Structure 1
Amino acid sequence: MSMKRSKSIDLTSGPILKTLSELALPIMASSLLGTAYNITDMAWIGLLGSKAVAGVGVGGMYVWLSQGLVALPRMGGQVNTAQSCGRKDYKEARSYAASALQITILFGLLFAAASIIFLDPLIGFFNLTDPEAYSSARSYMLITCGLIIFSFLNLTLTGLFTAQGDSRSPLMANFLGLVGNMLLDPLLILGIGPFPRLETAGAAIATVTAQFLVFAVLIFRIFTSGLETNVLRELHLFSRFPGKFYKNIIRIGFPTAIQSMLYCMISMVLTRMVSAFGAAAIAVQRVGGQIESVSWNTADGFASALNAFTAQNFGAKKYDRIRQGYRISFGILTIWGLIITAAFVLLPRPISGLFFHDPESLRISVNYLIIIGFCEAFMSIELMTIGALSGLGMTKLCSIISIILTGARIPLAMLLTHAGMGLNGIWWALSLTSIVKGIIFTLTFRQTSRTKLN
């Protein structure tokens, strides 16, 4: 990249749509690469059968849980670093970035140790009765969670790159990681050529190897990018910083971390309910979630851009830009969500047929996509609004709303399931609560705009 193309984007000036697009498009592309990354895994593992998919789905739950833990340093680091950049206080921004990375490394090591020590009890929570599915879950979780440190560092570094207006470097890193994963998956899962057939363990090894590649590229970009002010290049990672830096990161990041981890735990309870309907049902939930991530990851990527945009402009006290940025983002993600809704509701069988080949799994998957399809626009708006509110430092309010409404999925799923809807009752519980969350978060931002952005 040339020096000119590597310059960070000034989020506090210039045309809002152009500014948001320049930051958001690489993040959204990176998120779509992440989706392709996960779908690639599922497509190859799907060739091993629904039991292997169910096992990876269970093991993957704990990988998802770990993302909640790292949300603390990622969100706390990104918001505080971006607000410092908005104030042009780059020394403070460096201190926040280094503090966030220190917390990330500590959390990564602790989570890996806990996953290895308590491996069997953690998998046992899901009551996997099939030995093949249990074995798959064990091997997948041991490798991916045992080496979770690279995933943790990648997420926090991506947040810090975004905070200073550079979303191209994470895109480059994720693209190379995806290529590595796509090459390694068939070689290690199926044992092509001189490679041994490792099945689910091969998928885990391919994933961790790709994560290490992403990490290596991000480190390379820190020292080679031509950013005018690169707060990551001159970090003192092994220094101890004043308590206010850690305190402010925890203050902003803790609600997001709790929300994300509780969200995952709620999903674990729902997965346990789904397991009563057999391995095919768990496999559909796992694969369906990956298919839906086409919508989820894109909206979350845009939310990350809006978060940095909002935080920098809040630091610069440019409140009108925040309101205009939100309105533009709202329109874009509403259209995107409706496109995904149309695809899921009108084309559920062709989409499902890419991953499932037996009649039972195919039938369950079609029902899942149709039901979950109705909430896609609302879910996109929810994620985008959480990004904006978090950029204002309002992570606690976001977490309270999300935890209450996401928690409502469990009693609602029990009610609908026992009302005769069976497995579809669980899918409807997911969809209906997402619709309500989208509406409530939209109203919350409008109220916040009147009271805090004046």
Structure 2
Amino acid sequence: MKTAVNNNNGLMTEGSIFQKILFFSIPLILGNLLQQLYNTADSVMVGNFVGSNALAAVGASSSMIYLLIAFSQGAAVGAGVIVAQYLGAGDKKSVSDAVHTSLVIAGILGIVLTIAGIVLSRQLLEWMKTPEEVMEQAVTYFRLYSAGMFFGIVYNMAAGILNAAGNSKRSLLYLAVASFTNIILDILFIAILDMGVAGAAIATDISQAVSCILSMAFLMRVKDSYQVSLKKLKIHRRIAGSMIRVGLPTGIQNMVISLSNVLVQTSVNGFGAAAMAGYTAYLKVDGFNILPVMSFSMAVTTFAGQNYGAGNYDRVKKGMYVTLAMGFVYTVLTGALLLTFDDQIMGMFSRDAEVITCGKLAMKYFCPFYFILSILHGLSGALRGVGKSIPPMVVLLLSLCVFRIFWIWLVLPHFSTIEGVYLLYPVSWALGAVMIIIYACTAKWLPAGRQQGKVR
């Protein structure tokens, strides 16, 4: 019988639940915010030094880029859950096999998606009805960004491994270095060398390569069960099957939700370049709310996975409640702050009054309702951590994809302004939150009490 590794190794199977989740979440939140900061820096530099059309071009490309990488993010979630469960059970051999399998999968996905992004960029943007005045810049950004996609995908997998092992501080450190690199390169390439959207994409590629190299270098030298050896890189079929079982639903979910976001972006494109630029600018601000929510979700996934692997079932449920409370408090506070300083925030991205108005309008529809999104993702994260990845997938697909598609087809034609697009978001969040609450309250997704045993 395997026993849990003690929590000095970064595990969360003992000690204060609030402190474990909070201290694990903080590096994740700061890391995600740093990543969002350098993405925002791209938009701020492009909007101020290149113009509104260039800012719209970055936005048009970004939604399709997220669609391409969405499946790889699901794969990283699946790998992280499996690694966390084996760590909780103290199964060092399986931890090592899971780590090496996940990195091989990430490498394959990285190569395939890099090629797809470069080859299909123009066709995909045409399908999105990207306006002619921003098309060429959008294609340029898309192709150059795709050239560095491999590094981003491998980094995400490496970060997932570090997070599963409770070493989220490393992810924060490497993202801090990448963010600083990106901001410096943005200034050099855009403000000084006048390279436009090409400079923004190249700066992002280089910064992602830096974080990828640093994280892999650490994994290759760390003295623990999740150490990486190039000689051991191979796909273990049993482990890969477990990762697919957990990660495939999340990957499909991410892809389909990203597809719905592409359709939303297509709807925004119909309102012209100024609306596209305002929407793009706000989405960068939006990340400072959503990414911490996703960090809490990732934290409770790891917490639930480790404690489920150790048989601490009561602790899993308590961790879920703590995560929901943390997400609620954070989103209410930040939503209020964003609304209070909306003029100043949107003014950072553009001097165009129409662009600023579109961005501020998005704030009014998004900011008061982020707490609903925190409930949806907090419960989903806990369920994934115990291996129940299909129910969250179904809920998120129905609410954030199917419902949105029907809204675009049936409701949006009755709106003559962009408010119809913005209203879609809080309504779909609320639908998803109600569905996931009903499942969590009625389904038997967790055994009662405590039972030491093997990972299921």
1:359: which partner in 2?
Answer: 353
In 2, Cα distance between equivalents of 1:450 and 1:397: 10
Contact in 2 for aligned 1:95/1:235 (Cα 8 Å): no
Contact in 1 for aligned 2:12/2:303 (Cα 8 Å): yes
- Give the secondary structure class of the aligned counterpart of 2:9: coil
- Give the secondary structure class of the aligned counterpart of 2:107: helix
Distance 1:394 1:347, change over 3 A: same
In 2, Cα distance between equivalents of 1:370 and 1:350: 15
Distance 1:239 1:260, change over 3 A: closer
2:218: which partner in 1?
Answer: 221
In 1, Cα distance between equivalents of 2:141 and 2:162: 30
Contact in 1 for aligned 2:302/2:385 (Cα 8 Å): yes
Q: 2:426 aligns with which of 418, 425, 431?
A: 431
2:165: which partner in 1?
Answer: 164
Amino acid at match of 1:442: I
Give the structure-1-normalised TM-score.
0.93
2:137: which partner in 1?
Answer: 136
Contact in 1 for aligned 2:83/2:164 (Cα 8 Å): yes
In 1, Cα distance between equivalents of 2:175 and 2:444: 35
2:452: which partner in 1?
Answer: none
Amino acid at match of 1:10: L
Contact in 2 for aligned 1:94/1:235 (Cα 8 Å): no
Q: 2:403 aligns with which of 405, 408, 412?
A: 408
Residues 2-44 of structure 1, C-alpha deviation per residue, up to 9 Å, x if partnerless? Answer: xxxx963121111111221221111111111112121111110
Residues 34-81 of structure 1, C-alpha deviation per residue, up to 9 Å, x if partnerless? Answer: 121211111101111111011111221232113312124201211111
Q: 1:418 aligns with which of 390, 403, 413?
A: 413
In 2, Cα distance between equivalents of 1:237 and 1:204: 34
Residues 198-232 of structure 1, C-alpha deviation per residue, up to 9 Å, x if partnerless? Answer: 1100000100000011012112322455x6x3413
Contact in 1 for aligned 2:114/2:149 (Cα 8 Å): yes
Runs of 4+ in 1 over 6 A off after TM superposition: none
Using the TM superposition, name which of 408-417 and 98-107 deviates more.
408-417
Amino acid at match of 2:168: S
Using the TM superposition, name which of 9-18 and 86-95 deviates more.
9-18
Distance 1:233 1:346, change over 3 A: same
Contact in 1 for aligned 2:278/2:357 (Cα 8 Å): no
Distance 1:350 1:97, change over 3 A: same
Q: 2:208 aligns with which of 189, 211, 217?
A: 211
2:3: which partner in 1?
Answer: none
Give the structure-2-normalised TM-score.
0.92
> Where do 1:309-324 residues align within 5 Å?
309-324=303-318
Q: 1:101 aligns with which of 100, 103, 107?
A: 103
Using the TM superposition, name which of 278-287 and 102-111 deviates more.
278-287
In 2, Cα distance between equivalents of 1:444 and 1:317: 22
Contact in 2 for aligned 1:37/1:181 (Cα 8 Å): yes
Q: 1:85 aligns with which of 84, 87, 90?
A: 87
Identical-residue share of aligned pairs (%):
22
Contact in 1 for aligned 2:279/2:358 (Cα 8 Å): no
- Give the secondary structure class of the aligned counterpart of 2:166: coil
**CA shift for structure 1 position 246:** 1.4
Distance 1:25 1:235, change over 3 A: farther
Amino acid at match of 2:309: G
2:264: which partner in 1?
Answer: 270
Structure 1 unaligned spans of 5+: 1-5
Q: 1:443 aligns with which of 403, 413, 438?
A: 438
2:393: which partner in 1?
Answer: 399
Contact in 1 for aligned 2:21/2:303 (Cα 8 Å): yes
In 1, Cα distance between equivalents of 2:85 and 2:443: 18
Structure 2 unaligned spans of 5+: 1-6, 450-456
- Give the secondary structure class of the aligned counterpart of 2:286: helix
Contact in 2 for aligned 1:46/1:52 (Cα 8 Å): yes
**CA shift for structure 1 position 96:** 1.1
**CA shift for structure 1 position 436:** 2.3
1:199: which partner in 2?
Answer: 196
Contact in 2 for aligned 1:42/1:53 (Cα 8 Å): yes
Using the TM superposition, name which of 39-48 and 417-426 deviates more.
417-426
1:255: which partner in 2?
Answer: 249
1:3: which partner in 2?
Answer: none
In 2, Cα distance between equivalents of 1:453 and 1:352: 49
Distance 1:450 1:60, change over 3 A: closer
1:46: which partner in 2?
Answer: 47
- Give the secondary structure class of the aligned counterpart of 1:375: helix
> Where do 1:69-84 residues align within 5 Å?
69-84=71-86
**CA shift for structure 1 position 421:** 5.4
Amino acid at match of 1:216: I
Using the TM superposition, name which of 442-451 and 350-359 deviates more.
442-451
1:186: which partner in 2?
Answer: 187
In 2, Cα distance between equivalents of 1:144 and 1:95: 31
Distance 1:118 1:223, change over 3 A: closer
Amino acid at match of 2:274: A
Using the TM superposition, name which of 431-440 and 277-286 deviates more.
431-440
**CA shift for structure 1 position 449:** 6.3
- CA RMSD in angstroms, aligned pairs only: 1.9
Q: 1:116 aligns with which of 91, 105, 118?
A: 118
Contact in 2 for aligned 1:98/1:236 (Cα 8 Å): no
- Give the secondary structure class of the aligned counterpart of 1:165: coil
**CA shift for structure 1 position 274:** 1.1
Distance 1:186 1:449, change over 3 A: farther
